[in-house]
Amino acid sequence: MVLATNLGFPRLGTQRELKWAIEKYWSGKSSQVELEKTARELCERHWKLQRYLGLDHIPSNDFSLYDHVLDMALMVGAVPPRFHIDQDLASLRVYFAMARGLQDPAARLDIAAQEMTKWFDTNYHYIVPEFTEDQHFHLNSTKVIEQFREARALSIDTRPVLLGPVSFLLLGKMSGNSSVSPLDLLPRLLPVYGQVLKGLEIAGGDWIQMDEPCLVLDLAPEAQQAFQSAYASLVSSVPRLRLLVATYFGELRQNLRTALSLPIAAIHLDLVRAPDQLEAVLPEVPSSMALSLGVVDGRNIWRTDLDRAMLLIRKAVAKLGADRVLLAPSCSLLHVPVDLELEDQLEAGIKQWLAFGKQKLQEIRALADDANGDKEKAEEAFRESRKAVKSRASSPLIHDPVVKQQLQAIQPGMTKRPSPYAERYPKQNGILKLPLFPTTTIGSFPQTHEVRAVRSEFRAGKRDRASYEKFLREEIARAIRIQEELGLDVLVQGEFERNDMVEYFGEKLRGFAFTHHGWVQSYGTRAVKPPIIFGDISRPEPMTVAWAKYAQSLTPKPVKGMLTGPVTMLQWSFVRDDQPRSVTCKQIALAMRGEVMDLEGAGIRVIQIDEPAIREGLPLRRKDWNEYLQWAVEAFRLASSGVNDLTQIHSHMCYSEFNDIMDSITAMDADVLSIEASRSRMEILQAFGQFRYPNGIGPGVYDIHSPRVPGQSEIEALLRKACEVLDPRQVWVNPDCGLKTRNWQEVRPALMAMVEAARRVRAARDN
């Protein structure tokens, strides 16, 4: 019998219950007991829903209070020494300190958080494990076993999920200048995994899901060997357990033989991202191994073409037999919202094309029913699928001939600035008159409770537009005044009118649709509602010009115009899958180009076009990079190159490894690039120094993802470190990212310290 399974369920809850519970706990307004109660209730609700939907394998331990990679680090005792603040190293205080840092003056604690980076090519962020040469692993947390038992107490047998040992090590990093690689630690790590698996076996476990997404990367021979030795060891220690190794986000390619040689019960394939790999796998799969087919998209929100999915399923069943086939989403449903039924304001024509987490599990159940011969039970789902596919293909909502004409009219000169940076820089400096180490912020200021409440009142029709805009003008004026008092050199208007850096612009562009409950976790308690790109994109009218112009009227200092770049708009949306992503990105770039030129026409001399997702969008396999980088860089240049030499273009990028794409970053030709650098203590700058990056660069000196307030001497030390690899004339001084999620009590002293640090480093250079 073909089984209906799931790899993972969204954690936050339909109303973001987990977010509110954690933030209430952080603020001291609730206890650990109350937080844990909310977490148990969410797990129970999700397990029961999946049982109700008829799944044969329901995941457990896919739930996390912050991040599943951090959970694994805690489980195996990979707690860096600076976090040894409690006797219990699995305490919530230790856990959240690793994620967010900890500043407790009363206890004389001031601890920086661990690094955070993107989970493969998604917008989810994970906490990077830290290892040392003398790393000792031990069983520090039994959460995975406890959650399995909690589900069993509800008469629900689950398939526990663990991040596999090889991927866990490959996703981590060694502290300091170590001659040891993370994979060298595998023999020390495996006994702890063995303990966990033994504990699950004793608790009554049967199937165990081991996520090994690194199997879709370009792996060195030693990594391939590590997979073989790791699973030989684990399977021999618990022969009665059935291990399913889950790969996702791509295809196995040269790792196929390694994966199929593992002594495991089943392997999961992403057949949404890489449907063709089934042809390569079927002839090679051992007779002892089952296949889990990821035929429903776990990354996007479009309804599955069930007939197309059945072609793959029938092919697998014909070769292997029904008992060796499992059906699943392509990856964990962590990356999609929970339930489409909650969206009562989406246009019906668009809503019928969509499926969220709950609906995707219904699709999997329908596919399994059909594969098992129960076609009558599955018929309604197939009928609705065919109806949606036909409607979407012919809908007039999708295609705009004017946009297509604009694309055809693009000329090569539209992607080049009039002059090279070396000629632009002195012209801009003559206008802006900025000091050495100019200070600025990335764009947003705290979205206080009052700001959110007033915006909600306006959206709900409880406040008229005149009153709302008056409030926004007051907030902008206050932000400008604060920045002037702090002594910042290039100011921002604060973005108080914006709910989200992508959603805000999407609401003003044609071709986007929006949800009210479509929340997706980005990191920790940070949730976003990705817009849905369903059709051709265009800009009906200016989007930010009036607010930028107003802010600039309040001060003689330059105020940045703030836009989100085309690649980030693409990456952080649910993107249409009926045309190449490059075409959609170019449409967004044309829309943003118009906004950039309107800002320049309004007298805005500094314009920031944020591209925090450009590295995130890089394909997982190196041989696929060039094509992506070519159209991604072209899209940024198309958006930014219509201005004259006097207008300074900035861009911002998030946590990323830049070493391998420095040519492309340089080719973007932004006058100033700001990057997140504080958590890595400026290590990330080595790539820019070695490459001799020619333009201005602002390495972040203040980690905004932590409530911790940095001191002036700490920031000064980071700036001096930056000057060791960069020409001081290149260096800008800024926080890691926007300050939207922080509060003013944290932001004011942090920026004050930042400005003072810049002054001191500047004075030292002048002397």
pLDDT at 702: 85
Among the listed residues 317, 261, 256, the one whose alpha carbon sits nearest the alpha carbon of residue 291: 317
Grouping H, G, I as helix, E, B as strand and the rest as coil, residue 522 is strand
Q: Using CA atoms, how far apart are residues 762 and 767, in angstroms rounded to an integer?
A: 9
| Residues 489-518: tens digit of each pLDDT | 999 999 999 988 899 999 999 999 999 999
As a three-state string, the secondary structure of 203-227 is CCCCEEEEECHHHHCCCCHHHHHHH
pLDDT band at 659; cut points 50, 70, 90: confident
| Residues 39-54: tens digit of each pLDDT | 999 999 999 999 999 9
Q: Which amino acid is at 31?
A: S
pTM tops 0.85, yes or no: yes
pLDDT at position 396 over 60: yes
pLDDT band at 327; cut points 50, 70, 90: very high
pLDDT at position 163 over 80: yes
Alpha-helical regions (H) of 442-541: 449-459, 465-486, 503-506
Among the listed residues 500, 527, 655, 675, the one whose alpha carbon sits nearest the alpha carbon of residue 127: 655
Radius of gyration, alpha carbons of the chain: 26
DSSP 112: P
pLDDT band at 179; cut points 50, 70, 90: confident
| Residues 723-748: tens digit of each pLDDT | 888 889 999 999 988 889 899 999 99
In DSSP notation, 655-699 reads S---GGGHHHHHHH--SEEEE--TTTTTTTHHHHHHHT--SEEEE
pLDDT at position 592 over 70: yes
Neighbours of 676 (CB within 10 A): 25
CB 443, CB 495: distance < 8 Å: yes
pLDDT at 679: 65
Neighbours of 38 (CB within 10 A): 19
pLDDT at position 157 over 70: yes
Domains along the sequence of the chain with CATH: 3-394 (3.20.20.210), 426-497+543-766 (3.20.20.210)
pLDDT at 736: 86
Residues contacting residue 231 through CB under 8 Å, at least 6 positions apart: 243, 245, 262, 263, 264
Grouping H, G, I as helix, E, B as strand and the rest as coil, residue 48 is helix
> Which residues does the annotation mark as catalytic?
705
pLDDT at 89: 93
Q: Which amino acid is at 273?
A: R
Grouping H, G, I as helix, E, B as strand and the rest as coil, residue 302 is strand
Q: Using CA atoms, how far apart are residues 279 and 262, in angstroms rounded to an integer?
A: 19
pLDDT at position 86 over 70: yes
Query: Which range among 374-378, 445-449, 674-678 shows the weakest confidence by mean pLDDT?
Result: 674-678
Q: Tell me the pLDDT of the chain averaged across its residues.
A: 94
pLDDT band at 108; cut points 50, 70, 90: confident
Q: What percent of the chain shows pLDDT beyond 90?
A: 85
Q: Using CA atoms, how far apart are residues 415 and 633, in angstroms rounded to an integer?
A: 9
| Residues 249-287: tens digit of each pLDDT | 999 999 999 999 999 999 999 999 999 999 999 999 999
Q: Using CA atoms, how far apart are residues 642 and 414, in angstroms rounded to an integer?
A: 7
pLDDT at position 767 over 80: no
pLDDT band at 657; cut points 50, 70, 90: low
Q: Using CA atoms, how far apart are residues 259 and 62, in angstroms rounded to an integer?
A: 23
Query: Which range among 173-187, 394-408, 474-488, 687-701 shows the weakest confidence by mean pLDDT?
Result: 687-701
